[in-house]
Amino acid sequence: MLKNFWYALEFCSRVTPETPSTIRCLEQDIVMTRDAAGSVTAYNVARPDDEVLPAVERYGFIWVFMGDGTIPVEAAAPIPVWPEWDDPRYGGHEVKGDWWWKANVNRVVENGCDAAHTPFVHAGQFGNPELPQVPDYDVEFPSDWEARLSVELHPPAPKGIFGLGNKMLRRDLKDRPPVLTRTGWQLPNLIRLEVNLSIGQLVIYDTNIPVDATTTLTKWVSLRTFFTGTWADKNAAKRVPPIFVADAEIVENQRPELLPYDLGAELHVKSDAIAVAYRRRLGELREAGFDYDGELIVGSRPALVSA
């Protein structure tokens, strides 16, 4: 678990003047409140009289700087850029939800950017067990804080309205083309998944909140460039939890529960390259003192509080 990073802790819409929200992160209860003017304040329950925690609203989330006071917030890694959020081509801003894992955050993040498990773990959903090969891929590093890979997968045709849309809108396609899929991590805890279907693009962001060493709370939002009307939101939302159900079978049963430090301990095949990059980066951050080890999360002036 990493300290001294910005964490997306709660959906903005869940924090109103009437309804504050408390989210546990790094073993500490963080309360987020909103005043009548719309401004958000975050503080640590363990230190109610202390200065507030830096908090900012972006991409429909409240981001809180989970610092121990050793690094000024100005020197922190930036909040990642999610270009789709403000892009008018994307609908689905309200397609979101929560998922609880009995697993360490690093296991959850690694699973989220693993390209090889899809045909097996998600067979019958978007995985195709008949075409399980993962083509070689390169890991790209768009910044010091993120990595991503691109692969062409061969999922079965989508069901329901996505499938119907596919049939109606893309009559020109005789054979189902491969689906260009991008996945990757953004530190400290985020996954970005991009699926390029023939009818348009689907992008899912997961913020994987390290509640404690063996509990993770994922909050996700799913954006799309097709069927952007709110009428399709319910259908789009329904497609996400079954993915987590299948992943939980794997993620919650991995042992040891914490990621091994030794890079060679579990990762052996080429398709593990993005996980290797993740563990290497975690190792560097551990060396640099970013590992959470029971420190109190405290305010760091100047607090950035904005509506």
Question: In this complex, which beta carbon is closest to Fe ion, that of residue 194 or of residue 247?
Answer: 247
Min dist. Cβ of residue 122 to Fe ion (A): 6
- Residue number closest to Fe ion, CB atom: 247
**Least separation, in Å, of the C-beta of 184 and Fe ion?**
14
Q: Token pair for residue 92?
A: 């689905």
State the minimum distance, in angstroms, from the CB of residue 151 to Fe ion: 14
- Eight-class DSSP state of 260: P
Residues 275, 281: Cα–Cα separation, whole Å: 10
For the bound state, the minimum distance from the C-beta of residue 54 to Fe ion, rounded and expressed in Å, comes to 33
Nearest by Cα to 179 from 154, 162, 149: 154
By beta-carbon proximity to Fe ion, the closer residue of 238 and 286 is 238
DSSP for 127-150 reads B-TTS-PPPP-PPEEEETTEEEEE
Nearer to Fe ion, 38 or 242 (CB): 242
Binding site for Fe ion (CB under 5 A): 247
Q: Is-contact 155 127, C-beta < 8 A?
A: yes
Q: Which is nearer to Fe ion, 126 or 226 (CB)?
A: 126
**Cis geometry, peptide bond prior to residue 54 (ω within 30 degrees of 0):** no
CB of 166 to Fe ion, least distance (A): 22
User: Which of 71, 56, 40 has its CA nearest to residue 7?
Assistant: 56
Structure tokens at 265: 């301990």
In this complex, which beta carbon is closest to Fe ion, that of residue 68 or of residue 247? 247
